[in-house]
C-alpha cells in the first residue's frame, strides 16, 4: 500500500498540532503543511504582549520552525505558499508559491483545512489610513511595534472591547499610550453577562482606559496634527495616533466555499464530530469551523487555542483510522489586564436565553480568594448558573485580582463531568490560609445553590427589584446600610432580627439583602421558620451595585 | 413537641459549623457549645502564620465570638467548660466550669463530639524544658511569640517535617531564626511519595533550612549557654533556643472511649456515613473521627479543615432529620513555604501499595505553569496516578512555584467525579499566555496517560533503571546530555534518530529518556513504528534527578 499523502492548509495551532500528531500515528505518511504566511506554529495569543513589549523578542513567538518540523517530525512545511483552490473531484490542490509566483498542483489522500479566522475589517471610510492596524500575525504585531517606536503615539483607539481589545488596551497602556476603547455593545467583553463585565469595566477605568460603550465607528479621517480622527455613530470624535481594530474575527472559509463544502449557519465550516467536512476526505479544524457548545448544543464559532489543538489531534487520529471524537466546547476562556482576571466557562445567562433554555437559576457570590484572616485576601466575584430542575452545573463567570481562573477551571471540569451543584458542595479542594478556605468559593457556590434546590432558601428575582411591591429588608449593620443601600429597603441588623420580627409584614414577601448574601441567608432561615415568606437577593448589595452601576 | 436539645463538645471547625448549620435547619432547637479552651471558632490553620508575624493581630485568628454566636445564631457557647464524662444511658454530660470549678450535668437529645486532635508529645526525657512548644491553640501560638520576643532565639529545631513542621520552619525563618527540621522518615512531608517530597526538600535547603531526615529525637537536655540540646537516636545533637514539636496529631478520643463508643483501627472515633457513632444519639466530626478514603476505601485519620466543616454540616442535617451523607475524603491538601507550593489529592503510590491496590500506573511531567513564550514560566512537577485497567484517575501530586494548587484542584474534582485520564485529555481549561497553555499541564498529564493506555507509548519502570540490561537511549541534544545524564545511556538526538536507527539493538528493549519526556515520546513512536521495542522513562532526566537525588 502506498504511503498516505496528507496536505494541511494552515500551520498554526490546529494545523501544526494535526501535522505532528499525524507523524506520531503514522511514521510513513507524507505530510505537507502549506501556509501563505511567513511563519508556522507561532504564538498568536502572545501577539498583544509582543506589542506591549512584555514579550521582548519576536523569536519567542515562533514556537517551531520549518527546520524543526523537518528534523523532528519529517514534515515538509512550505511557508508563503498559498492554496488557491481545492479540486475535490481530482483530490488535488492548486498552490501558488508567493515568492516565485509559480503555481503548481498537489494531490492528497486526506486534506486538512486549518485556515483560521481573519480580523473583521469593515469597509469604513478611511480604514486604510496609516496608523490603523489589525492584529493577527507576527508581521502585524511587528508593524504596530514599529509604529509605536517611530511615531511615539500618545493616544490610541482600540475598536472592540472583547478579549483581544482589552489585552491590546493593557499592552498599549504599558507603552504609555492613553487608550480609548470604542465598543458597539453596552458592555466590554461581550461574551460575558453584562453585570459580570462591569467588573472589567471598573478595572479598566481605574487604570485610565476610557470607554465609549454602545457606540460604533462611523469613519476615520485625518485629524489635527497628523492624528487620526475616529468618528462614531453617536457623533463623538476621538483623536488618536494609533488605531487597533479588534472587533472580532471571521472564519476563513473562502477555500471551503469555493470547493462547495458545507458552511454552517454561523458562517464556519461545518464538520461532524470527527472533524470531517461534508467531503469525507477533507477535514477542518480550528477557528474556521463551527463547533457545538456542550451546554446549549448550539453551533457556535469559538476561536480558542485549546479546542483548536484538540481538534487537530482528533483529525489526525481519524485520518489514521482511529475512532476519536470531538465532544464540543465549553467556551472556557480567560482574559487578564491590569493585574485583574475575568474568566468564564460553559453557558452564560444570555447564551441560555438565546438557546431558549429557561430551566436555570443564577447565583452570585463574592468570597475572598483565600481566608480573610490571612493578609491580602481579594474578592472573587462569581456567578454560577445551574439547571433549576436538577442542579446540573451549566456555567460560571468569575472576576477578581487572584484565583478567578482557578475556580473557573474547577467548574469547567465539573461541567465536563456533568457535575451538579451538590457535587460542588462536596468538592475537596486545596486549603491552607494563603490558598483558599475550608469552604472554598467553589464549595460556597455549590452550597448556596444546593440550599435553594433543597428548598432552604429561595431567591428573589434581581430584575424585578425596582418594580416590585415586596418588602425589602437589609440585614447589615447600620454603618454599612448608611454607606449605601437598595432604595426603599428597611434596615434591621441580623443580630436584632429575632427580637424585631413584629416589624415585618405577613402580607408581603420579604426580599432580603446583606453585603454579599451570607447574612441574608441566615435571616431568610429565621423568617421562614417563623412563618414569614422570605427570599434572598443573591450576592447582596455587592451584586446590586454591578446590576445598577 | 419539646424543642430538641443539642450539645456540642468542641467549638472549632466541625463543631462550630455544626452549631451554625443546626440553627439554620431548626430555629427552635436548644444548641449549646461546650469548649474547654478560651476560644471557639478560631483559625487553627493560621497559627503558624501568627507565630511568623505574617498574621499580626491575635484578634484576626478569632473567627467568631460567643457573643456573635448568641446574637446571630441564638446559640449558647460556654468556653472554659470541659466535658468530663458522657452518661449515655441518661443522655447527659458531666461538665466542669474551669473558671469556677463547679461541676454540673446537662442532658441532651443529640450529642455532637468535635474534640479535635492533640499534638503528639512523646515522653522524651527533657520534654518539659522551657522553650519546647507544641502548636494547637491560640495560647500556644501566643506563648511561642512571647518566647521569640523575650528570648530572641537565633536557632530552632522543629521536630517533624510534615505540613505544620514546614509551615513552622518558614515562619520561624521569617523571624530570622535558623531552623533545623528533625524528621524520622527519610523524607519531608511524609504523606507524599518520596520523590515528590524531594522538591520540597530542595526548596527548604535552598532557603537555609537544615534537614535531619531519617533521624528521631532521643532526648532534650540543657545545652551550653541556656540552649536546649536536642539529641537524636543517630547520636547527633542540635543546639536550639527554641523547639517546636510538630510530629503530628492524635485524635482526642478519651471522652468517646470512656463512654464506650466504638473506636476504629486507626485510633479515631468510628462513625457511619451520617457521622453517627456507635450510639445513635451521638455524632462525631472532625479530626477525632476516622474517615474512609474515597480512592483506597481504607479508614484513615485525615485532620483537614474542609472535611471537618463538611462533616459538621452533615451531622447537623442528620440530627434535623435529613438524609445527608459523607462520602469520604480525597485527602486534598496543600502546603506553601518560601514561595513554593506542594499539593496532593487522592491516593499516593505508597497509599495504593499499602492498600494492596496494584492496578495503577504513575507518570511524571514537568510542564511550565504557563506557556514558555510568556516571561516567567515556572515548572510544575506533576505526578499523576491512574488505574491501568481503565484509566480512572486515582491521585496526583504537584510541586512548583506557581499554579500547583490549581492543577491539583482540577484533578481533585476529576477524582471526585470519577473522571478518567481520557477526560483529563479533553479538559477545556483557562488559557491565555499568562495563565496556562493551550495544552494545560492537566491536559498533558491526560494525554501522556491516554497515549499509554491506547498502546502508543509504553513506560519503562524507573525502579529498574539501575539494574536493567536494556539499552538506555537519551534523545536530548549533546549539550544537554553532557551536562548530566543517566549512567550508561547513549545519546542520539531526536533530530538524528531516523538516520541512525541502525545503531540501535533489535535484541533489547530501548528505554528512552529526554529532558522531561516529550522528545522521548516522539522517539518512541519512531522506533516502535520501525519495528523496534521501545519504552519511555516518564518525565525524563528531570524525573531521574529526583529519583536519584
Residue-wise pLDDT for A447-459, tens only, equals 999 999 999 999 9
Please state, as a whole number, how many other Cβ atoms lie within 10 Å of the Cβ of residue A199.
23
Q: Is B35 exposed, middle or buried (0-12, 13-18, 19+ CB in 10 A)?
A: buried
Distance CA B42, CA B79 (A): 12
- On whether any CB of chain A is under 8 Å from the CB of B530, the answer is yes
Note whether B306 contacts A: Cβ–Cβ < 8 A: yes
**Interchain CB contact of B327 with A (< 8 Å):** yes
Nearest CA-CA partner of A13 in A374, A415, A329, A306: A306
Q: Does the pLDDT at position A530 exceed 70?
A: yes
Q: How does residue A431 score in pLDDT terms, banded at 50, 70 and 90?
A: very high
Phi and psi angles of residue B114, each rounded to the nearest 5 degrees, phi first: -135, 60
pLDDT score of A80 more than 60: yes
For residues A504 and A496, what is the distance between their CA atoms, to the nearest angstrom? Answer: 12
Residues contacting residue A16 through CB under 8 Å, at least 6 positions apart: A33, A40, A41, A63, A64, A312
Q: Using an 8 Å CB-CB cutoff, list chain B residues near A191.
A: none
8 Å CB contact of B529 and A27? yes
Residues 409-468 of A with CB under 8 A from B: 409-410, 412-414, 416-419, 423, 426-436, 438-440, 443, 456
Inform me whether the C-beta atom of residue B263 falls under 8 Å from chain A C-beta atoms.
no
Residues in chain A closer than 8 A to B519 (CB atoms): 72
Structure-model confidence comparison of residues B390 and A41, the more confident one: B390
First-to-last C-alpha distance (Å) of chain A: 68
Whether the Cβ atoms of residue B536 and residue B459 lie closer than 8 Å to each other: yes
Give the confidence band of A2 by pLDDT, cuts at 50, 70, 90.
confident
Cell (9 digits) for B69 = 454566636
Pick the residue from chain B with its C-alpha nearest to A26. B529
Q: Do A430 and B439 touch (CB under 8 A)?
A: no
CB contact under 8 A, B410 and A414: no
| Interface probe, candidates B432, B493, B494, chain A, greatest A C-beta count within 10 A | B432
Place of cell 489514521: A320
Q: Among B334, B427, B456, whose Cβ lies nearest the Cβ of A416?
A: B427
CA atoms of A55 and A68, how far apart (whole Å): 22
Burial class (CB within 10 angstroms; exposed 0-12, middle 13-18, buried 19+) of A76? middle
H/E element holding B389? none
The answer to whether the CB atoms of A438 and B413 lie below 8 A apart is no
For residue B273, what are the CA distances in angstroms to A355, A456, B417?
Answer: 41, 23, 19
Cβ atoms of A110 and A280 within 8 Å: the answer is no
Query: Cβ of A435 and B336 within 8 Å?
Result: yes
Rounded-to-integer distance, Cα B49 and Cα B39, Å: 18
A311 pLDDT band, cuts 50/70/90, is very high
Whether the per-residue pLDDT at B99 is higher than 60: the answer is yes
Across the interface, of B304, B305, B414, the residue whose CB is closest to A417 is: B414
Query: Among the listed ranges A393-397, B105-109, B219-223, which one has the minimum average pLDDT value?
Result: B219-223
State how far the Cα of B178 lies from the Cα of B181, in Å rounded to an integer.
10
Residue A511 phi, psi dihedral angles, 5° rounding: -100, 120
Which chain B residue is nearest to residue A48, measuring alpha carbons?
B433
Cβ contact A517:A448 at 8 Å: yes
Binning pLDDT at 50, 70 and 90, where does residue A342 land?
Answer: very high
Contact B375 A55 (CB under 8 A): yes
What is the average pLDDT across A487-512? 97
Q: Alpha-carbon distance B30 to B12, whole Å?
A: 19
Is residue A59 less than 8 Å (CB to CB) from chain B? no
Confidence at B1, pLDDT banded by 50, 70, 90: low
Closest to A110 (Cα-Cα) out of A397, A316, A254: A316
Measured distance between the N- and C-terminal CA atoms of chain B, rounded to whole angstroms: 68
- Whether B293 and chain A come into contact, CB under 8 Å, resolves to no
Report chain B residues whose CB lies below 8 A from the CB of A50: none
For residue A374, CA distances in Å to B104, B145, B421 come to 39, 17, 35
**Chain B contact for A307 (CB, 8 A cutoff):** yes
* Percentage of chain A lying above the pLDDT 90 cut: 98
- A214 pLDDT more than 80: yes
ipTM of the complex: 0.97
A409–B409 C-beta distance less than 8 A: yes
Nearest to A400, CA basis, from A420, A376, A421: A376
Does A441 score more than 60 pLDDT?
Answer: yes
List own/partner pairs for B61-64 with CB under 8 A and 24 or more apart.
B61/A373, B61/B138, B61/B141, B62/B138, B63/A373, B63/B16, B64/B16, B64/B40
Instruction: Work out the average pLDDT over B523-546.
Output: 97
Beta bridge partners of B382: B365, B398
Residue B138: per-residue pLDDT: 95
Taking residue A376's Cβ as centre, other Cβ atoms within 10 Å add up to 12
Residues of A in contact with B28 (CB under 8 A): 529
What value does the mean pLDDT take over residues A51-69? 94
pTM as predicted: 0.97
CB contact under 8 A, B423 and A438: no
At residue B223, the pLDDT reads 85
Mean pLDDT, residues A324-336 taken together: 97
> Mind giving me the DSSP string for B10-55?
--STHHHHHHHHHHHH-TT-EEEEEESSS-SSB-GGGHHHHHTTSS
Distances (CA, A) of A183 to A165, A228, A246, A323: 9, 18, 10, 43
Taking CB atoms and an 8 Å cutoff, what residues of chain B touch A435?
334, 336, 341, 405
Give me the pLDDT at residue A1, please: 56
Q: How confident is the model at residue A439 (pLDDT cuts 50, 70, 90)?
A: very high
| Contact status, residue B421 vs residue B391, Cβ threshold 8 Å | yes
The active-site residue, picked from A18, A45, A335, A514, is: A45
Residues in contact with B18: Cβ distance below 8 Å, sequence separation at least 6, in sequence order: B8, B112, B114, B283, B285, B311, B312, B313, B315, B316
- Top residue of A428, A517, A532 to mutate, by most chain B CBs within 10 Å, is A428
The Cα–Cα gap between B335 and B48 comes to 12
Q: What is the dihedral of CA B496, B499, B505, B507, to 10 degrees?
A: 130
Smallest CA–CA distance, residue B137 to chain A, in Å, is 16
Q: CB A97: neighbour CB atoms within 10 A?
A: 14
Quick check: helix, strand or coil at residue A175? Answer: coil
Instruction: Tell me whether residues B428 and A329 touch, CB distance under 8 A.
Output: yes
Count of residues making up chain A: 549
CA–CA dist A419, A347 (Å, integer): 14
Active site residues of B: 45
pLDDT > 70 fraction of chain B, expressed in percent and rounded? 100
Q: A526 and chain B: CB distance < 8 Å anywhere?
A: yes
On whether the CB atoms of residues B452 and B459 are closer than 8 A, the answer is: yes
| Chain B contact for A63 (CB, 8 A cutoff) | yes
B148 is written with which cell numbers? 521569640
How far apart are alpha carbons A305 and A295 in whole angstroms? 19
CB of A106 closer than 8 Å to CB of A32: yes
Residue B452 CB contacts under 8 Å (≥ 6 apart), including other chains:
B361, B363, B458, B459
Coil, helix or strand at residue A522: helix
DSSP three-state, residue B60: helix
Q: For residue B228, with 0-12 CB atoms within 10 Å meaning exposed, 13-18 middle and 19 or more buried, which class applies?
A: buried
What 3-state class would DSSP assign to A47? helix
- Of A428, A519, A526, which is closest to B27 when you measure between CB atoms? A526
Calculate mean pLDDT across residues B94-104.
98
Q: For residue B25, which residues of chain A lie inside 8 Å, CB to CB?
A: 456, 525
Q: For chain B, give the mean pLDDT.
A: 97
Q: Is A375 on the interface with B (CB under 8 A)?
A: yes
Query: Cα distance from A14 to chain B (closest Cα, Å)?
Result: 10
B377, B349 in Cβ contact below 8 A? no
Instruction: For residues A292 and B91, give the distance between their C-alpha atoms in angstroms, rounded to a whole number.
Output: 60
Residue A62 C-alpha, separation from nearest chain B C-alpha, in angstroms? 9
Nine-digit cell string for A97: 508559491
Ramachandran category for residue A449: left, alpha or beta (phi over 0 → left; psi -120 to 50 → alpha): alpha
Reported as type and span, the H/E element at residue B158 is strand B155-159
Angle at B365 between CA B387 and CA B169, to 5 degrees: 100
Give A374 to chain B, closest Cα distance, Å. Answer: 6
> What average pLDDT does the structure give for chain A?
97
Element of type H or E holding B105: strand B103-107
Q: Supply the pLDDT for residue A127.
A: 96
Q: Does A82 touch chain B (CB under 8 A)?
A: no
**Chain A interface, mutation test: which of B320, B331, B339, B438, most A Cβ atoms within 10 Å?**
B438
In chain B, the percentage of residues whose pLDDT exceeds 90 is 98
Mean pLDDT of A62-91: 96
Considering only CB atoms, which chain A residues are within 8 Å of B336?
Answer: 432, 434-435
Report the alpha-carbon distance of residue A46 to residue A141 in Å, rounded. Answer: 10
The residues in B 464-503 lying below 8 A from A, measured between CB atoms, are 494-495, 498
Q: Please name which of B140, B178, B177 lies closest in space to residue B50, comparing C-alpha atoms.
A: B140
pLDDT bucket at B2, cuts 50 / 70 / 90: confident
Of the candidates A165, A540, A141, A185, the residue with the CA atom closest to the CA atom of residue A342:
A165
CB contact under 8 Å between A373 and B332, yes or no, is no
Residue A455: Cβ within 10 Å count: 8
Task: Tell me how many residue pairs between chain A and chain B have CB atoms under 8 A apart.
Answer: 233
Residue B225: pLDDT band with limits 50, 70, 90? confident
Q: Which residues make beta-bridge pairs with B92?
A: B87, B107
Q: Which residues pair with A111 in a beta bridge?
A: A7, A282
| pLDDT tens-digit readout, B468-518 | 899 999 999 999 999 999 999 999 999 999 999 999 999 999 999 999 999
Residue of chain A whose alpha carbon sits nearest to that of B410: A410
At A223, the pLDDT band (50, 70, 90 cuts) reads confident
Laid out side by side, the sheet with A333-337 consists of A333-337, A340-346, A393-400, A380-387, A360-365
Amino acid at each position: 500500500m502506498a504511503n498516505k499523502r496528507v496536505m494541511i492548509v494552515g500551520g498554526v495551532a490546529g494545523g501544526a498540532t494535526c501535522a505532528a500528531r499525524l507523524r506520531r500515528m503514522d511514521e510513513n505518511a507524507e505530510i505537507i503543511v502549506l501556509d501563505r504566511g511567513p511563519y508556522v506554529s507561532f504564538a498568536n495569543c502572545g501577539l498583544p504582549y509582543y506589542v506591549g513589549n512584555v514579550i521582548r523578542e519576536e523569536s519567542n513567538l515562533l514556537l517551531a520552525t520549518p527546520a524543526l518540523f523537518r528534523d523532528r517530525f519529517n514534515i515538509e512545511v512550505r511557508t508563503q505558499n498559498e492554496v488557491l483552490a481545492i479540486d475535490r473531484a481530482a483530490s488535488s490542490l492548486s498552490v501558488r508559491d508567493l515568492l516565485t509566483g509559480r503555481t503548481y498542483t498537489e494531490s492528497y489522500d486526506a486534506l486538512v483545512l486549518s485556515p483560521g479566522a481573519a480580523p473583521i475589517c469593515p469597509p469604513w471610510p478611511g480604514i486604510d489610513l496609516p496608523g490603523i492596524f489589525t492584529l493577527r500575525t507576527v508581521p502585524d504585531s511587528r508593524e504596530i511595534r514599529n509604529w509605536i517606536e517611530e511615531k511615539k503615539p500618545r493616544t490610541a483607539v482600540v475598536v472592540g472591547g472583547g478579549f483581544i481589545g482589552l489585552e491590546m488596551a493593557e499592552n498599549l497602556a504599558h507603552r504609555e499610550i492613553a487608550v480609548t476603547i470604542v465598543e458597539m455593545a453596552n458592555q466590554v467583553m461581550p461574551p460575558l453577562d453584562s453585570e459580570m463585565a462591569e467588573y472589567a469595566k471598573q478595572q479598566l477605568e481605574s487604570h485610565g482606559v476610557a470607554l465609549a460603550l454602545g457606540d460604533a465607528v462611523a469613519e476615520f479621517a485625518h485629524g489635527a496634527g497628523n492624528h487620526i480622527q475616529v468618528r462614531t455613530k453617536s457623533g463623538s470624535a476621538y483623536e488618536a495616533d494609533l488605531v487597533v481594530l479588534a472587533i472580532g474575527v471571521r472564519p476563513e472559509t473562502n477555500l471551503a466555499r469555493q470547493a462547495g463544502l458545507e458552511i454552517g449557519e454561523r458562517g464556519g465550516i461545518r464538520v461532524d464530530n470527527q472533524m470531517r467536512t461534508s467531503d469525507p476526505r477533507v477535514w477542518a479544524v480550528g477557528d474556521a469551523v463551527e463547533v457545538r457548545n456542550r451546554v446549549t448544543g448550539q453551533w457556535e464559532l469559538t476561536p480558542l487555542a485549546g479546542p483548536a489543538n484538540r481538534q487537530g489531534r482528533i483529525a489526525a487520529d481519524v485520518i489514521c483510522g482511529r475512532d476519536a471524537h470531538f465532544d464540543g466546547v465549553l467556551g472556557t476562556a480567560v482574559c487578564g489586564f491590569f493585574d485583574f482576571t475575568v474568566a468564564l466557562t460553559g453557558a452564560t445567562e444570555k447564551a441560555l436565553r438565546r438557546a431558549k433554555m429557561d430551566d436555570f437559576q443564577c447565583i452570585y457570590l463574592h468570597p475572598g480568594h483565600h481566608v480573610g484572616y490571612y493578609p491580602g485576601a481579594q474578592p472573587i466575584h462569581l456567578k454560577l448558573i445551574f439547571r433549576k430542575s436538577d442542579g446540573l452545573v451549566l456555567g460560571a463567570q468569575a472576576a477578581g485580582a487572584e484565583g478567578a481562573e482557578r475556580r473557573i477551571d474547577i467548574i469547567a471540569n465539573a461541567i465536563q463531568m456533568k457535575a451538579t451543584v451538590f457535587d460542588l458542595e462536596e468538592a475537596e479542594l486545596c486549603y491552607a490560609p494563603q490558598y483558599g478556605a475550608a469552604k472554598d468559593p467553589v464549595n460556597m457556590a455549590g452550597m448556596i445553590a444546593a440550599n435553594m434546590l433543597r428548598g432552604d432558601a429561595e431567591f428573589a428575582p434581581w430584575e424585578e427589584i425596582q418594580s416590585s411591591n415586596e418588602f425589602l429588608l437589609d440585614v447589615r449593620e447600620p454603618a454599612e446600610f448608611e454607606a449605601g443601600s437598595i432604595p426603599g429597603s428597611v434596615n434591621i441588623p441580623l443580630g436584632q432580627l429575632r427580637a424585631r420580627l413584629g416589624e415585618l409584614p405577613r402580607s408581603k414577601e420579604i426580599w432580603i439583602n446583606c453585603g454579599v448574601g451570607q447574612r441574608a441567608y441566615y435571616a431568610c432561615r429565621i423568617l421562614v421558620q417563623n412563618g414569614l415568606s422570605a427570599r434572598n437577593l443573591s450576592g447582596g448589595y455587592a451584586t446590586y451595585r454591578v446590576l445598577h452601576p
